[in-house]
Amino acid sequence: MPLAPVHRHLLEMTGRSFLCACDPCALRFQDVVDGKFRLIPRDARTVPGFCMTDAHWEGLALPINPAFFFHNSASGRVVAMYPSPAGAMESLLPLANWKSLVSENPELASMASDVESLLVHRVETAREYFIAPIDRRYELVGLIRTHWRGSPGGETVWREIAKFFAGLREQAGVNGGVAEVNHA
């Protein structure tokens, strides 16, 4: 039976790869603790009133302004990643500022390990923060890999990034916080 264009994803924990699944199959993994697979949530939500100053952001020392942070249960730490034309890049810098960020934004402590991330959008004047499923952040990475041209990326990639975040805002706000994954 073929999958519908809108369907669920599972994270295979050992190899950290994604698997597509129909809703009935995916829901079998929803409450499994310490299983081989984790159900990736559908919902993306904005974090209204998120507190992050420019100085705090600069203290994270990331080379690019869209970035994502998630708790990796295998390593027992928060990982910072950012999209690049070469794919998702992990920041090897220590995240000493993460604890203070969580203390100022307690909603971060409720993110599901491995399958949810803080997605930060600080391109130009944008200051947006989303708690989003892991597959959304890799969607952004794929978009950048596909559309990046030359050193500054080109107009197309920045237009696509703007569309991605506009869509994320719309899904998080207009659809009651549900962000569907749609494959053509």
Judged by DSSP in three states, 118 sits in strand
- Ramachandran assignment for 132, one of left (phi > 0), alpha (psi -120 to 50 degrees), beta (any other): beta
What confidence tier does 175 reach under pLDDT thresholds 50, 70, 90? very low
Spell out the residues 6+ positions from residue 72 whose beta carbon is closer than 8 angstroms to its own: 78, 79, 113, 114
3-state helix, strand, coil in the chain (%, to 5): 30, 30, 40
Bridge partners of residue 8, in order along the sequence: 21
Q: Output the DSSP codes for 31-93.
A: T-TT-SEEEPP-B-EE-TT----HHHHHHT--SSSSEEEEEETTTTEEEEEEEETTEEEE--S
* Residue that is written with structure tokens 């939500």 in the block: 45
**Whether the predicted pLDDT of 179 surpasses 70:** no
What is the overall mean pLDDT for the chain?
A: 84
Which is it for the CA torsion 96, 99, 103, 105, positive or negative?
positive
For the chain, the domains span 42-173
Model-wide pTM > 0.85: no
Name the residue among 112, 95, 97, 147 with its Cα closest to residue 13. 112
**Cα distance between residue 26 and residue 21, in whole Å:** 5
**d(Cα 82, Cα 62) in Å, to the nearest integer?**
8
Of the ranges 16-20, 62-66, 101-105, 116-120, the best mean pLDDT one: 116-120
Per-residue confidence (pLDDT) for residue 1, from 0 to 100: 62
Look at residue 115 in the predicted model and tell me its pLDDT. 94
For the chain, how many residues are written? Answer: 184
pLDDT for residue 180 is more than 70: no
Beta sheet of 77-84, edge-to-edge order: 45-46, 128-133, 116-121, 67-72, 77-84, 87-90
